[in-house]
Structure 1
């Protein structure tokens, strides 16, 4: 049975400037209602994808089409972040889109930039019932504010699974993976699938990075009470040891370079990775390949974990929609957020392979993925047969910390640094980063 899912400084714009730009300081009237009228003038609302993945096809189905049906005057436009298109640069230029799409780990960076609006006045004005949502999402939202602010509207639940390419298993005569595996089990299979054939290097398993393997145990990076780094622990050592056991399988490192990294391209495009531990939002990309006539012969099983967390996978994650403090159309943006959270649109989202953020019912579980070609006949127990682990205490330093812990593993793998030295160095680097951010 499915269980509910478990400094960057801006010099040119101060918080006061952000609040005053583009109508940013204006609050909605205290009167209104669910069907209160909003502007009927033609409006384009831009959505910025920050750290939460969304395929073009999904944006069309979840945003463009249902919003145009409900509000014919509103056009939705997707903007993707990149090396040259960052939240910081968009704020500085005054071009930050109206709506920001983020996952649980992407909220605090937006808060540090003072980029997002408190939704409570809009919830009150338009009578939004937040009790409709899965408690995991509403409780998760509370953790982002000690002032009772509501920083976002949930829009889709994420999950983690182990995707595998059946063609590669068939090619090498290896039995398919099963639900309930540990990382030890997965490593044994990965060794059988890592080989070079006709000049093509095949790899058995991309676990998703040391940081994400740590998500399986809900490991913190920073003690939230003391703001001290906590990377030099027995649990992080255990996680790194297992990740390195996988990375050191002969064939993963060639000419001093680790082939694979954390990206999904080797699985989706090159199709030389047999297994990958990934977030469920990758299903959107799998469906897009299917509709483009280039399907992958794939299935999924429960994401492997450590025996200490049997029955759990990575800590829970959900995707949410924020209103930008720079938006000139905040009322309209909120009405769009509310509509995407409606039963009507959540049903579309759920049938399209993204789990609804509304309270779960047997009907929602039964209808999950019903509109997708690529998910027909797939092992849905990989999603519903396990529970996500609890969220670790999130801090503003986690993004940096995740890079540091992954770099520590790379130093062991490619530079022959010993494990204890790597963890001690990681601890020191994170401590220095925290101290620098507090100056």
Structure 2
């Protein structure tokens, strides 16, 4: 603890030095949430209230609406909350400014962050020079499970360090019809989840061709095929169950997801009177990626190029990434971006519901490097996810699904390139 005090004091001093140079005239900063999860409660506790307390002259206003419509109407936000997976559409709109100079001016120490988060943001610039955002929250994959269903069917709970083949074996013991209810052992969700640790691009940057019909997706679809072959798993037109089947209906025993997302769902459900007896373990992997985390996914704050209040926006970023605020966020179950053992250890301590959970599993694996993003990633990703239906419902073989999806993705990219 003694080693952390000087760094904390230095951070406060640097922030104060920057604050002295910034105008204290009342301003309203418009903040847009772009395709990431930020509840109204989180907006209040992470952003609005701390900013109002430290900077009474700064008012944060959460704006809503489609990005292109906001741009056309001249209602461009000053700050955008996004993540590195959804950054390219912002780049296409020429919105993010390079924060390098503001980081230097404000003396924001990038060394305090988990290195993978800064690298993930650097990776958003093809030239690797610009810093188009600052990380403020990290994500990590985990396997969640319903303890009641494991108990009901007498199956031992999952443990850390499982492989996907282990999860499949557990699933086979839990996928069954009982008392008129079809229980599902494991919803495998999306194929790209399994490719996540491989730093595998969706699109070849040299040829602008999709990377779908490749060995990694073949291996993944072979796993999915075994899941769909379980008696009772595919029912009519239903082949995916998601959070509703897992948390709401409580008939799915296991599901992997981003930890902060599913923990948020569990806590919200509990608040709404739908409590679950759940726990979590490390994200499983294929054998050749055992012990590796999913790709680095970090929520970021970026300042738009046309904002008239760039320095005030930088004050918001400084505050949200300060040790004090990151500690508060960690205690309330947001994964910190700081490379600080004490802040990490505090995760979830303000949530009584998490006290008995294996939250250490979130931090056990280091996240994997991110592939170079491409402006057509999301279109290809959507087609990759649609492969599930082609297999489960339309009963197409893996070769056909990979070939047809590759062709569809290449066609979609070619169409978009002409626009």
- What TM-score comes out, normalization by structure 1 length? 0.84
How many positions carry a matched residue from both structures?
401
- Where does 1:16-95 land on structure 2 (aligned, <5 Å)? 33-79=17-63, 85-95=65-75
TM-superposed CA distance for 1:273, in Å, is: 1.9
- What is the aligned counterpart of 2:387 among 408, 424, 427? 408
> Structure 1 pair 287/42, CA: closer, same or farther in 2 (3 Å)?
farther
- What is the aligned counterpart of 1:139 among 119, 123, 142? 119
**Mapped pair 1:375 → 2:354:** yes
- What is the aligned counterpart of 1:107 among 68, 87, 92? 87
> Structure 1 pair 60/268, CA: closer, same or farther in 2 (3 Å)?
farther
1:295 corresponding residue in structure 2 = 275
SS in 1 for 2:200: coil
| Distance of 1:383 and 1:35 partners within structure 2 | 35
**Mapped pair 1:418 → 2:393:** no
CA contact (8 A) 2:197 2:369 kept: no
| Distance of 2:36 and 2:111 partners within structure 1 | 24
- Where does 1:11-410 land on structure 2 (aligned, <5 Å)? 33-79=17-63, 85-145=65-125, 146=127, 148-260=129-241, 263-282=242-261, 283-361=263-341, 363-410=342-389
- What TM-score comes out, normalization by structure 2 length? 0.88
2:7 corresponding residue in structure 1 = none
1:70-117 residue CA offsets vs partner (Å, 9 max, x unmatched): 11233334456xxxx322222222233332111221111210121222
| Distance of 1:40 and 1:195 partners within structure 2 | 64
TM-superposed CA distance for 1:210, in Å, is: 0.7
CA contact (8 A) 2:248 2:274 kept: no
| Distance of 1:88 and 1:253 partners within structure 2 | 39
TM-superposed CA distance for 1:277, in Å, is: 0.5
TM-superposed CA distance for 1:41, in Å, is: 4.6
| Distance of 1:194 and 1:252 partners within structure 2 | 7
Ranges in structure 1 where 5+ consecutive residues have no aligned partner: 1-31
SS in 2 for 1:60: helix
CA contact (8 A) 1:352 1:369 kept: yes
CA RMSD for the aligned pairs? 2.3
2:8 corresponding residue in structure 1 = none
CA contact (8 A) 1:53 1:281 kept: no
TM-superposed CA distance for 1:326, in Å, is: 4.8
TM-superposed CA distance for 1:281, in Å, is: 1.4
> Structure 1 pair 296/37, CA: closer, same or farther in 2 (3 Å)?
farther
| Distance of 2:41 and 2:275 partners within structure 1 | 15
Structure in which a larger fraction of residues adopt helix = 2
TM-superposed CA distance for 1:328, in Å, is: 4.2
CA contact (8 A) 1:55 1:284 kept: no
| Distance of 1:59 and 1:193 partners within structure 2 | 39
> Structure 1 pair 406/90, CA: closer, same or farther in 2 (3 Å)?
same
> Structure 1 pair 386/400, CA: closer, same or farther in 2 (3 Å)?
same
CA contact (8 A) 1:33 1:125 kept: no
Query: Which stretch of structure 1 is more off in the superposition, 167-176 or 417-426?
Result: 167-176
1:301-352 residue CA offsets vs partner (Å, 9 max, x unmatched): 1111111111113222111011234544332222111110111111112222
